[in-house]
A and B are shown apart, each in its own frame.
Chain A
Amino acid sequence: MTFFSERAGVIKASCILSIRDTFTTIRPSLWFLQLIVPTIFAMFFFSMIAYAAGADQEFVIIGNAVQSIGMTTIYAVSGIPGVQKHIGTMTPLVISPSGLFSIFFGMSLFSIAAGFLSIAFSLTFAAFVFGVSMASINLLSVVIIILLTAFSVGGISMMIGSIGIYMRTSAIIANIATYIGLVLCGVNFPVSDLPAWVQKIAYCHPLTYAVEATRGAISGSSVTDLAEPIIIMIFLGILFIILAYLMFLFFEKLSRKKGRMDVF
């Protein structure tokens, strides 16, 4: 019991520190702008390509609203170890008795919550700025899907972030992970347009189910109708968190052995 309460304490402290750190560096208004401006422009950008290409703009706008989690959660979470190396705090964190996983999990919680906010705002823009019809929306389904998206995408982001403990930088992997959803996950065109072997990879990514389920929920599908993508997202979320935990242990051990904690 003491072990778990200690871990919970570390997670809570890391989360609070990361929030304070964020808002000490940038003003809340600027943070909020960072959350919404790229999202609005991304939706606008891809909807204009859709318009020029004669594709379905509504399909693209909803897809990009969900993909907005890329910058807020995937990039932010997977880049945390790289940032710690850069500002020189990785070594003190490793020396502390708390495991790196608990610390980075705590630091990630704010970005995971920001991912939820990002999708919620983006869908609001989709309705009020881009005129996507929300007449049949099933709000409960949308809320559950967004929560599960933030959770499952947070898991995969932590997996990617763990590599940053060992590598000189996680920026390259974080960039790929942030934007790959645009191609793989049915954000701008159906997954079925991709080659068969790429489709198999696409269906290992929680964002593919999130995009599909969000489009369903906006068309009025209930939680029961969307049971399959929802169950898969829960499964993938749990799987990725477990894998992230194991990967953190592995890369932490490897980095200690090779002395790569401060290499960036």
Chain B
Amino acid sequence: MNLKAVSSSFKQQGIQFLADPQWIIPSIIAPFLFTVVALYMYSGVGDIDSPVVLTAVLGGGVLGMWGNMLFASGFTITYDRYNGTIEPIMLTPTHLIDVITGRSIWNTLIGLLNAVLVFVSAELIFGVGVSVAEPLFFFPMLIMTLFSLASIGLMLSALFVLTRASFVVMTILEFPIYVFSGALFPVSVLGGLAPISYVLAPSWGVDALKTTAVHGHESMTEFGIAFSLAMMLFLMLVYIAAAYILFRVIERNIRESGTLVRY
């Protein structure tokens, strides 16, 4: 991996974002409104500061992170196509995955801001009282969950390179992660579909996150938070390895076919 290219693309993505920071707003609207809906629906279950409501707010934060990650991953190549910068990127000796990795790390940091915005909005509007059970473990876990989402984003970026209809693909992929991550409801309610959640790193991240935040949270397995953390890390490595292979194959194919610039 070319670390200089990674840090440069990180810096470039940051400069682009700061030039027009309003783009964070669209990716927090849907997760925030979903959290509001969940809060209204769960308000029948208990008081506004009950664990189930705290779970909803945490889940909303995760949705915020995913929304940002998905759209940032999709647009990262799409905008290069629009702006005519994809050809210079492909002409440099740097591999595409190095450029995308730097950008993804920036998007990950913004995703964290996204989650915090959802927490703060819920607190200000509903007075939910986001007080976590184990703050020392909560924040590292939040960041780990965010990186697990970023690893999916990295893998998807490779696919977004292939398609000129990235917005359509983003729209299709947005809800499945909302559903299977178990962010706003326990994975157990999915019944026969629950195994899909087990192969998603963010599901384990959400589980670990809720364990550190909510008193009395029932974990996905009986093995507790260490197992959830291990599963998340393992799946993240699998996604990153898959992304690396995909990028290499796709990069070679698009150079041969000459279809990259088409949109």
A residues near B (Cβ < 8 Å) are 25-27, 30-31, 33-34, 37-38, 41-42, 44-46, 48-55, 71, 86-87, 168-169, 171-172, 175-176, 178-180, 182-183, 188-189, 193
Q: Which residue from chain A places its CB closest to the CB of B82 in the assembled complex?
A: A86
Report whether A44 and B44 are in contact in the complex, using a CB–CB cutoff of 8 Å: no
CB of A34 within 8 A of CB of B172, answer: yes
Closest 6 CB pairs of A and B: A41-B175, A52-B185, A26-B165, A175-B26, A53-B41, A175-B29
- Quote the shortest CB–CB distance from B68 to chain A (angstroms): 13
Residues in B with CB closer than 8 Å to A48 are 179, 184-185, 189-190
Name which residue of chain B comes closest to A180, CB basis: B33
Query: Which of A34, A37, A182 makes the CB contact (< 8 A) with B37?
Result: A182
Given contacts A38-B175, A48-B179, could you give 9 more A-B pairs where the C-beta distance is less than 8 Å?
A: A38-B172, A41-B176, A44-B175, A45-B175, A46-B37, A49-B38, A55-B41, A179-B29, A179-B33
User: Which chain B residues lie closer than 8 Å to A87 at the CB level?
Assistant: 82
Asked if A38 and B30 sit within 8 Å, CB to CB, the answer is: no
Which residues of chain B are near A51, meaning CB under 8 Å?
185, 189
Interface contact A53-B42, CB-CB below 8 Å: yes
Residues of chain A with a CB closer than 8 A to B23's CB:
171
Q: Does B22 contact A (CB under 8 A)?
A: yes
Contacting residues, chain A, for B45 (C-beta < 8 A): 53-54
Q: Which residues of chain B from 1 to 44 have any CB-CB distance to chain A below 8 Å in the complex?
A: 22-23, 25-26, 29-30, 33-34, 36-38, 40-42, 44
B131 contacts A by Cβ under 8 Å: no
For B25, B44, B185, B189, which residue has the most chain A Cβ atoms within 10 angstroms? B185
Residues of B within 8 A of A (CB): 22-23, 25-26, 29-30, 33-34, 36-38, 40-42, 44-45, 52, 82, 164-165, 168, 171-172, 174-176, 178-179, 184-186, 189-190, 263
10 contacts between A and B (CB under 8 A): A25-B165, A34-B172, A42-B175, A48-B179, A48-B190, A52-B184, A52-B185, A172-B22, A175-B30, A182-B37
Closest A residue by C-beta to B33: A179
Residue from the list B25, B33, B190 in contact with A183, Cβ < 8 A: B33
Chain B at the A interface: SS class: helix
Give bound CA distance, A181 to B164, whole Å. 30
Residues from chain B with a CB closer than 8 A to the CB of A53 are 38, 41-42, 44-45, 52
Instruction: Among B33, B41, B175, point to the contact of A37 (Cβ < 8 A).
Output: B175
Cα distance A53–B178 in the bound complex, in angstroms: 17
Contact between chains at A44 and B40 (CB < 8 Å):
no
> How many angstroms between the C-alpha atoms of A23 and B59 in the bound complex?
36
Please tell me if the beta carbons of B26 and A171 are within 8 angstroms of each other in the complex: yes
Given contacts A30-B165, A175-B25, A193-B40, contact A49 B171 (CB under 8 A): no
List the B side residues contacting A27 at CB < 8 Å: 165
Neighbouring B residues of A49 by C-beta, 8 Å: 37-38, 41-42, 184-185
Closest residue of A by beta carbon distance from B185 = A52
- Assess A71 versus B171: contact at CB under 8 Å? Given A41-B176, A51-B189, A172-B22: yes
> What's the nearest-Cβ distance from chain B to residue A226, in Å?
26
For residue B263, which residue of chain A has the nearest CB?
A25
CB contact under 8 A between A50 and B41, given known A37-B175, A38-B175: yes
On whether the beta carbons of B185 and A54 are closer than 8 Å, the reply is no
Chain A residues, Cβ within 8 Å of B34: 179, 182
Residues of A within 8 A of B263 (CB): 25
Q: How far is the CB of A41 from chain B (nearest CB, A)?
A: 3
Give bound CA distance, A86 to B185, whole Å. 38
Query: Which chain B positions have C-beta within 8 A of A179?
Result: 29-30, 33-34
- CB contact under 8 A between A189 and B172, given known A25-B165, A52-B185: no
Residue from the set A42, A52, A179 with the largest chain B CB neighbour count within 10 Å: A52
Inter-subunit contact A25/B179 (CB<8 Å): no
